[in-house]
Homo-oligomer: A and B are copies of this chain.
Amino acid sequence: MRRWALQGMRGAWLVGVIGVILWWQLPAHAQARAETWGAKQGSVCIGCHSQQNVALVQEWRIGRHGQAGVNCFDCHRADKGDPDAFDHNGFLIAVIVSPKDCARCHQKQVDEQKGSHHAKGGQILASLDNFLGEVVGGPPAVATGCMQCHGSQIRVLPGGKFDPATWPNTGIGRINPDGSWGSCSACHTRHAFSVGQARRPDACGKCHLGPDHPQIEVYQESKHGILYQAFQDRLNLDRRTWVVGQDYTAAPTCSTCHISATPSQGSTHDVGERISWTLRPAISTKLNMIVYEDLWKEDVPEGTPLPQVGESRKAKDGKVRKVSRVLTWKQRREKMQDVCSQCHAGGQITGFYKQFDDLVELYNEKFAKPATAIMGELYKANKLTAAPMDEKLEWTYWELWHHEGRRARHGASMSGPDYAWWHGMYDVAKTFYLHFIPEVKAAAGEPLATQLLDKYVFSQPGHRWLKEGMTKEQLQKIQDFYRQRYGGQN
């Protein structure tokens, strides 16, 4: 008996030590704000839910929140007047925990996320993508597809329940009932909220994949992804701080390059901060960033005059704001190169960027600008109806830039050769020559087709092969190669 008692005492002592360690593990913000959590009501929640949803509660319990005593009610409590507040067995709660709620403890992270492209993900309601989703597909396709990544605009039904056309949803730019934009659990998955899980590439891969932005596939085939597969156990993914070169050295994840800290720069929850090119639109541009005092951000293409810090100006959404910071594309690139340099020497980095820039320029100049210009001319000449996507050429052009052209650019941006070429430039070229040009001819008719193609396409030396073919010598060289290399056949 006595031995057990002693052990019990030792146990208590141990719990104390662990408590101190856990406390130290908490973010600084959190340490300063212990009064914001530990609501007594939480134990009542756990009483039922540990029966009804045992795994949910258990994951919370072993996660950092559970270990630190941040409980159900701390996050889900609502205030009277909250649009989605409802009475749940005598407690006023809300199902959705919005960034505003998370900011009670994680203000810095929410501030960084505010105004970022991620936070604006739900603002595609009037875009061409949305037309495709809502009209060409149909609303349920938007609910299970588009919105699950972009975020829905949550509609609260009488009684505090949500319209199931908009919920469940953890899209990154969710428009919450409290007016905030975003969903922290898009990456920090419920209910363990493990920071290590969010740092894994899979977290990003939920949305950054597929025909139109295959970042996860590019990463997986890159050396970065190969090293991650081999050495993920050496990455200390669960550490509180996670500084490349200090906490780990074996491989980068998406987070390493786009979010996490280096010895010389802090982490950021604005995932676009270190990105110098936009690879999203039909034609890529380098982007400078303007940050306003209210944390609203906007990107402006290289070349657009930049405001002064302190200046008040009308932002793109029409609201007048004071500029608090300007980050040029060069500064953004320097931030990324600082990450690169933890593992790569300078020549490797500048060489990489030269290859990447060249690929984007090739895509822009040889394919994207001519195709975009021709589309504009066809609309102007009424050779295409104003309605989007009701003509084959419109789908061809759309996939040329939105799918294939992005894949090429993303492949080059993250060293995935199969995406740069086969899923990228090969597909771009094939679509351009085999589909776009013939469909332009069909839509424009003569003499407009010839005029347009001569002006925008065949004026470029890079397209002349299509008209001029190859010389006999060039052809002979190809045949000789196959004979020597493989003993015959192509």
Determine if A320 is an interface residue (Cβ-Cβ < 8 Å). no
- The CB with the most chain B CB atoms within 10 A, among A203, A222, A318, A472, is that of A203
Q: How far is the CA of A429 from the CA of B131 in the complex (A)?
A: 12
Q: A388 to chain B: which residues have CB within 8 Å?
A: 470, 475, 478
Contact stretch, chosen from A12-20, A32-40, A328-336, A339-347: A339-347
Say whether B417 contacts A168, CB under 8 Å.
no
Say whether A490 contacts B128, CB under 8 Å.
yes
**A120 contacts which of B161, B356, B385, B485 (Cβ < 8 Å)?**
B485
Say whether A356 contacts B55, CB under 8 Å.
no
Q: How far is the CA of A365 from the CA of B433 in the complex (A)?
A: 31
Determine if A47 is an interface residue (Cβ-Cβ < 8 Å). no
Contact stretch, chosen from A22-30, A244-252, A305-313: A244-252
**A206 contacts which of B143, B222, B366 (Cβ < 8 Å)?**
B222
- The CB with the most chain B CB atoms within 10 A, among A422, A425, A430, is that of A425
Determine if A236 is an interface residue (Cβ-Cβ < 8 Å). no
Q: A472 to chain B: which residues have CB within 8 Å?
A: 386
Q: How far is the CA of A423 from the CA of B352 in the complex (A)?
A: 32
Chain B residue nearest to A50 (CB atoms) is B245
Q: How far is the CA of A429 from the CA of B483 in the complex (A)?
A: 29
Q: A52 to chain B: which residues have CB within 8 Å?
A: 341, 345
Q: How many copies does the complex hold?
A: 3
Determine if A418 is an interface residue (Cβ-Cβ < 8 Å). yes
Determine if A31 is an interface residue (Cβ-Cβ < 8 Å). no
Q: A126 to chain B: which residues have CB within 8 Å?
A: 477-478, 480-481
Say whether A484 contacts B352, CB under 8 Å.
no
Q: How far is the CA of A119 from the CA of B280 in the complex (A)?
A: 38
Q: How far is the CA of A227 from the CA of B490 in the complex (A)?
A: 36
Q: A222 to chain B: which residues have CB within 8 Å?
A: 206
Q: A345 to chain B: which residues have CB within 8 Å?
A: 49, 52-53, 56, 95
Q: A227 to chain B: which residues have CB within 8 Å?
A: 189, 197
Q: In the complex where A138-B425, A250-B192, A366-B138 touch, is A390 in contact with B484 (Cβ < 8 A)?
A: no
Chain B residue nearest to A54 (CB atoms) is B245
Say whether B167 contacts A395, CB under 8 Å.
no
Determine if A69 is an interface residue (Cβ-Cβ < 8 Å). no
Q: How far is the CA of A263 from the CA of B196 in the complex (A)?
A: 29
Determine if A136 is an interface residue (Cβ-Cβ < 8 Å). yes
- CB proximity to B under 8 Å, residues A67-92: none
Say whether B425 contacts A59, CB under 8 Å.
no
| Interface bits A117-150 vs B (CB < 8 Å: 1, else 0) | 0001001111110011101111111111111110
Within the complex, what minimum Cβ distance (angstroms) separates A350 from chain B? 7
Q: A144 to chain B: which residues have CB within 8 Å?
A: 355-356, 358-359, 411-412, 415, 417, 420-421
- CB proximity to B under 8 Å, residues A368-393: 385-388, 390, 392
Determine if A58 is an interface residue (Cβ-Cβ < 8 Å). yes
Determine if A458 is an interface residue (Cβ-Cβ < 8 Å). no
**A143 contacts which of B249, B299, B316, B358 (Cβ < 8 Å)?**
B358
Chain B residue nearest to A417 (CB atoms) is B148
Q: A103 to chain B: which residues have CB within 8 Å?
A: none
Within the complex, what minimum Cβ distance (angstroms) separates A199 from chain B? 9
Having A56-B345, A145-B424, one finds 19 other A-B pairs with CB under 8 Å, namely A53-B343, A53-B345, A54-B245, A58-B249, A124-B481, A141-B420, A141-B421, A144-B356, A164-B355, A197-B227, A200-B226, A200-B229, A209-B418, A300-B487, A301-B488, A316-B484, A317-B484, A386-B475, A387-B470
Instruction: Give the B-binding residues of A (Cβ under 8 A).
Output: 49, 52-56, 58-59, 95, 120, 123-128, 131-133, 135-149, 161-162, 164-165, 167-168, 170, 189, 192, 194, 196-197, 200, 202-203, 205-207, 209-212, 220-223, 225-227, 229-231, 244-246, 248-250, 263, 278, 280-283, 298-301, 304, 316-318, 341-345, 347-348, 350-352, 354-356, 358-359, 361-362, 366, 385-388, 390, 392, 395, 408, 411-412, 415, 417-418, 420-426, 428-430, 433-434, 462, 465-466, 469-470, 472, 475, 477-478, 480-490
